[in-house]
Structure 1
Amino acid sequence: MPYALHSGTRMPRHAPLAMAALTCTLLLAGCAENTTSSTTADSENVAHIKIPDKVKASTTITVGAPDIQVALKLSGQLDKLPFKVKWANISGGPQCSEAFRAHALDVCSSAEIPSIHAHWTGLDTKLVAARFREDPLKHPVYELGIAPGADIDTLADLRGKKIAYSPGQAQGALVLRILAKAGLTKNDVRLVELPSTGDVYPTALGSHQVDAAPLGGVNIKRYPAKYGKDGGKTIQHGLRDDPAHLWAPTESVRDPQKAAAVREFIGFWARAEVWIDRHPERWIDGYYVKDQGLTREDGAYLVKQNGHPDIPADWTPAIARQQKTVDLLAKETGQKKFDAAILFDRRYESVAADAIAEAGKPR
């Protein structure tokens, strides 16, 4: 059974504006990777490699999860990590995958699509932790932004329209899933490749560069506030879009000591998720306002928008949903289908839920 939290609130942290911008080098590299196909990854099976019971204090891993770093600091847990962590101020598919290729990162925060795309571009990686939303249809990560005058009121109205599309990222896969729900394919619309960072999508909508684009985070609120007087709006897509993961290159979890450090970090990550959910006011002030530079109003909006996290001890349903995504993307992009289970390192399957359960026991 999944572990769901039922008190407090939490926000979608992959959307803040201050962390959304990529450097030119990484952005160009990420886009190049997204638009070219290379050798499919071998997807090494590491299930037989035993993870040591304890991690050596001298073990070092590099982690790209800036929000979790802040959460651990605010909750007083940062100095309790039993190994060394180098924190990288990156997260998300393009940045993570480029750092993985450079052998410069061991763990990263990401949605599920980058791992699929990595497999198709020759990068062998594993998903080592999973987080969803307790009520994903009530609290979607994205809404579909509609340009002023685009005459789109339902998903069926997307036929013949220009839609912002970011291959290899969650937003790009969501667009294909939305089209499938509407009984359309990419050939029924015009996909306009644009990076999904910062204000790119809202600006493209407002300037009529595209007719529709998936919007996340504060852009769900800001876009209609800015363009609503001209007819700009958002509509619901009615699909689950909530998968979030800790993601690692297979070479890192193949190494026994790094694998042990990753396991311990997952426990800290899970407890940080609980802390964020149960301390929304401190999270708004400490992360969104002080760290990200958002207004307190925006931070409060994001906390409410996100709802409560759901951290499952069983990944079977998640793998089944991932398989449907793999099959759809393969069909629409001409890639080869594969077994989605190879992306998940199930040695870590219950680690997060176990850490939360252990933390909740009376002392």
Structure 2
Amino acid sequence: MPRFGPIALAAALVAPLLLAGCASDDAEGGASDEELAAAEIPATVDPETTLTIGTPEAQVALELSGLIDEIPFTVEWANISGGPQCSEAFRANALDVCSAAEIPSIHAHWTGLDTKLVATQFRQDPVEHPIYQLGVAPGADVDSLEDLRGKRIAFSPGQAQGALVLRVLDAAGLTTEDVELVEIPSTGDVYPTALGNGEVDVAPLGGVNIRRYLEQYGPDGGTTFHHGLRDDPTHLWVPTSAVSDPQKAAAIREFIGLWARALTWADEHPEEWIQGYYVEDQGLSTEDGEYLVEQNGHPEFPADWSGAIERQQQTIELLAAELDRESFDAGTLFDRRYETVAADAIADAEGGGS
């Protein structure tokens, strides 16, 4: 299994960027940032407008809540999620909207794929309700970030978990030279298995893998602990060509509002959400669903993106230093015409107005 020194680490991180960059010329561009910011989004949507949307979790929330019937345009749903899949679909001009964490839009910028973030969701009490916890292998003797020095840490270049590892090392006052990064993809139950088999000492675990790892390997000494950092941003992500089209821009605005309302509905109806999404759609047990609902925390949709942009800037600078890439202004990733749409939709639904 490959290990990373400083040079190998940079090569591993750059490789997916170079591969993606080979296809970047195939992606349609959109308006310039100045033109986009000045363009007014139409007040109404032509019902003949079609968006291809890849937000599987939100799709289920829209269906269960009945809000799907309020969509005022045509939707073609795509079973696509995560940065790599969304990026490929954007390049093929086959997707208009997807859900992604903060890393994919940064990598897209570096590979010439022109995209924008049009909605932002965080978790209330994000440090208490992180997306990931750090899993510790039996016998690894790690209880805090300070104990990471010299440890073998699972690392997935170009994914949210990989960026979290770099952020954790930074918070601990460590560099990639102070640990041994082990390249392992973060799909499925690969990380829990790697921990349990002693292939790595530490790995970021998310979702039901946290619970299952403790159930399976806890008796042998496997543990988890909170990293103490905010790891919760989720965005709606679009190719700039989509928001450059006036009717698609209007349809995206309507979808953002319904997306925020649907996720809020799911939070406020945990029993229906557990049964409809975790059990019937995802094939998990009721107990798994209850655990995930308890861990998730409540969604919030900021009407001011200044904090989100500042966080994105910090991430850009951290990754740029590791990748030997050029830093850039995080604000260019956001289409701030949509800044208050989600928050306004929640306020209107609650009778609070804009």
User: What TM-score do you get using the length of structure 2 for normalisation?
Assistant: 0.90
Change in 2 beyond 3 A, CA 1:323/1:31: closer
Tell me whether 1:33 sits opposite 2:16 in the alignment. Answer: yes
The residue aligned with 1:49 is 39
**Structure 1 CA distance for aligned equivalents of residues 84 and 198 of structure 2:** 26
Match of residue 229, structure 2, among 239, 263, 271:
239
Contact kept? 1:129, 1:247, Cα under 8 Å: yes
The residue aligned with 1:160 is 150
**Structure 2 CA distance for aligned equivalents of residues 31 and 306 of structure 1:** 32
The residue aligned with 2:218 is 228
Contact kept? 1:133, 1:309, Cα under 8 Å: yes
TM-fit CA distance, 1:37: 7.6
Match of residue 312, structure 1, among 293, 302, 307:
302
**Structure 1 CA distance for aligned equivalents of residues 21 and 65 of structure 2:** 43
The residue correspondences of 1:235-314 to structure 2 (distance < 5 A) are 235-314=225-304
The residue aligned with 1:172 is 162
Contact kept? 2:14, 2:323, Cα under 8 Å: no
1:152 maps to amino acid:
V
Q: Deviations over 1:57-82 (max 9, x none)?
A: 00001001111111111111212210
RMSD: 2.0
TM-fit CA distance, 1:325: 1.0
Q: Which has the higher contact order (CA 8 A, sep 6+)?
A: 1
SS across alignment from 1:55: coil
Tell me whether 1:81 sits opposite 2:71 in the alignment. Answer: yes
TM-fit CA distance, 1:166: 1.5
The residue correspondences of 1:1-363 to structure 2 (distance < 5 A) are 33=16, 38=21, 44-45=32-33, 46-361=36-351
User: What TM-score do you get using the length of structure 1 for normalisation?
Assistant: 0.88
Structure 2 regions of 5+ residues with no counterpart?
1-12
Deviates more, 1:207-216 or 1:293-302: 207-216
Q: Deviations over 1:272-310 (max 9, x none)?
A: 022111111100011111111100000010001011111
Q: Deviations over 1:138-166 (max 9, x none)?
A: 11110001112222222122112221111
SS across alignment from 1:337: coil
SS across alignment from 1:86: strand
1:193 maps to amino acid:
E
Q: Deviations over 1:94-143 (max 9, x none)?
A: 11111111111110011111111111122111110000011001111100
**Structure 2 CA distance for aligned equivalents of residues 202 and 180 of structure 1:** 24
Percentage of identical aligned residues: 67
The residue aligned with 2:8 is none
Deviates more, 1:329-338 or 1:148-157: 148-157
1:353 maps to amino acid:
A
Q: Which has the higher helix share?
A: 2
SS across alignment from 2:42: coil
Contact kept? 2:17, 2:110, Cα under 8 Å: no
**Structure 2 CA distance for aligned equivalents of residues 34 and 162 of structure 1:** 25
SS across alignment from 1:144: strand
Deviates more, 1:149-158 or 1:325-334: 149-158
**Structure 2 CA distance for aligned equivalents of residues 305 and 106 of structure 1:** 30
Change in 2 beyond 3 A, CA 1:335/1:37: farther
TM-fit CA distance, 1:33: 2.5
SS across alignment from 1:242: coil
SS across alignment from 2:181: strand
Deviates more, 1:45-54 or 1:282-291: 45-54
**Structure 1 CA distance for aligned equivalents of residues 190 and 241 of structure 2:** 34
Contact kept? 1:34, 1:167, Cα under 8 Å: no
**Structure 2 CA distance for aligned equivalents of residues 207 and 47 of structure 1:** 52
